[in-house]
Copies of this chain bind each other. A is one copy, B any other.
Amino acid sequence: MLSAELLSAFLEIVGPRGLITAQNQLQTYECDGLTAFREAPSAVLLPETTGQVQAILRLCTRHKVPFVARGAGTGLSGGALPTQGSIVIGFSRMTKILNVDLVNHQITVQPGVINANVTVAVAGAGFFYAPDPSSQTVCTIGGNVAENAGGAHCLKYGFTVTHVLEATVVLPSGELVTLGSKSPDAPGYDLLGVFIGSEGTLGIATEMTLRIVRKPEAIQVLLAAFPSISAAAQTVSDIIAAGLLPSAMEIMDRLAIVAAEAAVHPQYPMCDGLLIVEVDGPLAEVKLQAEQVLELCRKNGAIETRHAIDEGDRLLIWKGRKAAFAAAGRLSPNYIVQDGVIPRTTLPVVLEKIAAMANAEGLRVTNVFHAGDGNLHPIVLYRRDNPGEEERAIDLSMRILDLCVETGGSITGEHGVGREKQCSMSYMYAPADLATMQRVRRAFDPDNIANPEKLFPTPRLCGEQKRGHYVPHPVEASGIAEVF
């Protein structure tokens, strides 16, 4: 698709090791974790420096070539899906940690640095990087920033947006700007806040300064088994209402426990609603909070409680939770993972409604989710072999998302809008709201070449529809590993 001239200009910028054009190699880049859509890029470029990224984008602007930035490709909404004729800019060669500033609790990294490696770089000094998507052992900081990644511990520590201080960003024009500031209280517009979570539509960050957090003196994780998932959910509401702020509160239902147990044997108590609560802080505070949490668990009818006996046990408990989604393949050959948000206080009601909807449809739905944030991840299990079952599963998954929005929630908690849910944006926002976002987009990307056809509804892809419509992505049982 690209002219020989343009290809040779790209080659000049990134060198032969930085340019992929062979069809079989391009296939690797034709989708991310959302496999329902596929489109091979025209070429893949792997720059090594900010200057190279600038040179690439200058050419893209001159020739109106769309570009898609890509980290590890673990995204679940098609954010890194190439569009027709686009190039992919991959960051597998920009993996340097550029600076560690322990005095000011900061670290500066390139976009290809793996999330978990940020913590590795500062753990010796007693710090960690807080946002912890379940894919943290593979996903990259560049992708985390694009998607404003969350994770189990964002309940206490906040999403990616609260942990990025400054970003060096190459605009689609190739111009270099600094968004945010390493220093406190930068005046003017908070453009860094707009950039984070903009899903690659405003430019490409090539350096990011992150806030690191001092490791707490003590961490304790508690397990409480409840006779129902709504009892577990009610406990979450009560914990927050009591003014406690655990670092994480996760809920798993019986099916999810079965799957996790089969996959990594975390020895969860078997029940209909398992609550995992982690508290951290000074030792005295942790002890106190843990007691208060346990008391609220008992008050809500917990039939069994236990805590991690040591650090190994704690990590195993988390391994089980983080593996739960991939493990859903042990329950069903096909499944759809949904990502929606509801106000935390509505958890018990919404979970009961989801169960009723699943029963009425004769399908199984299992729930594993960030309960403290009200961020649901219902998994609709089905067999594609059964005629009509996939359609019914997709329909159910869509109706669950509708329910989230109707309850005052959101179409996505942490997986992003991307290609998957772009048509649903009209369900959440009025035309004037979307038009304002689009004008801001054009302030950064006047030619609409930065990850186009994502995030916003387009007439071509979404037609005239006014309400929720999105494309759930069926997963093969052998599919994605530990990325939820």
Q: Please determine whether A411 and B284 come into contact, CB atoms closer than 8 angstroms.
A: no
Question: Shortest Cβ distance from A423 into chain B, in angstroms?
Answer: 12
In angstroms, Cα B160 to Cα A172, docked, is 32
Question: Shortest Cβ distance from A116 into chain B, in angstroms?
Answer: 23
Complex copy number for this chain: 2
Question: Shortest Cβ distance from A325 into chain B, in angstroms?
Answer: 19
Chain B residue at minimal CB-CB distance from A430: B178
Interface string of A330-359 (1 = CB under 8 A from B): 000000000001011100000000000000
Answer yes or no: A4 CB below 8 A from chain B CBs. Answer: no
Note all chain B residues with C-beta closer than 8 A to A374: 184
**Beyond A184-B374, A409-B184, is A282–B189 a contact (Cβ under 8 Å)?**
no
In angstroms, Cα B282 to Cα A288, docked, is 10
Question: Shortest Cβ distance from A212 into chain B, in angstroms?
Answer: 13
A183-B343, A183-B409 are known; give 19 further A-B pairs, CB within 8 A.
A161-B190, A171-B436, A177-B432, A183-B410, A184-B373, A185-B341, A185-B373, A185-B412, A187-B412, A187-B417, A187-B455, A188-B417, A189-B194, A189-B198, A193-B194, A284-B288, A285-B288, A439-B444, A440-B443
Answer yes or no: A15 CB below 8 A from chain B CBs. Answer: no
Answer yes or no: A386 CB below 8 A from chain B CBs. Answer: no
In angstroms, Cα B179 to Cα A425, docked, is 14
In this complex, how many residues of chain A approach chain B with their Cβ under 8 Å: the count is 67
24 contacting pairs across A/B (C-beta < 8 A): A177-B433, A178-B433, A183-B341, A184-B341, A184-B343, A185-B375, A186-B410, A186-B428, A187-B421, A187-B428, A187-B455, A188-B437, A189-B197, A189-B198, A189-B441, A190-B196, A191-B437, A194-B440, A217-B243, A243-B282, A282-B288, A284-B284, A436-B444, A440-B440
Answer yes or no: A442 CB below 8 A from chain B CBs. Answer: yes
Answer yes or no: A408 CB below 8 A from chain B CBs. Answer: yes
Closest 6 A/B residue pairs (Cβ): A193-B193, A439-B443, A185-B341, A190-B193, A185-B410, A443-B443
Q: Please determine whether A432 and B187 come into contact, CB atoms closer than 8 angstroms.
A: no
Answer yes or no: A181 CB below 8 A from chain B CBs. Answer: yes
Answer yes or no: A391 CB below 8 A from chain B CBs. Answer: no
Answer yes or no: A413 CB below 8 A from chain B CBs. Answer: yes
Answer yes or no: A176 CB below 8 A from chain B CBs. Answer: yes
Note all chain B residues with C-beta closer than 8 A to A197: 187-190
Interface string of A156-188 (1 = CB under 8 A from B): 000001000000000100011111011111111
Note all chain B residues with C-beta closer than 8 A to A413: 184-185
Interface string of A391-433 (1 = CB under 8 A from B): 0000000000000000011111110110001000100111011
Which residues from chain A sit less than 8 Å from chain B, CB to CB?
103-104, 161, 171, 175-179, 181-191, 193-194, 196-198, 214, 216-217, 243, 282, 284-285, 288, 341, 343-345, 373-375, 408-414, 416-417, 421, 425, 428-430, 432-434, 436-437, 439-444, 455-456
Most chain-B Cβ atoms within 10 A of its Cβ — which of A190, A193, A243? Answer: A190
Question: Shortest Cβ distance from A187 into chain B, in angstroms?
Answer: 5
Question: Shortest Cβ distance from A280 into chain B, in angstroms?
Answer: 11
In angstroms, Cα B428 to Cα A324, docked, is 47
Note all chain B residues with C-beta closer than 8 A to A443: 436, 439-440, 442-443
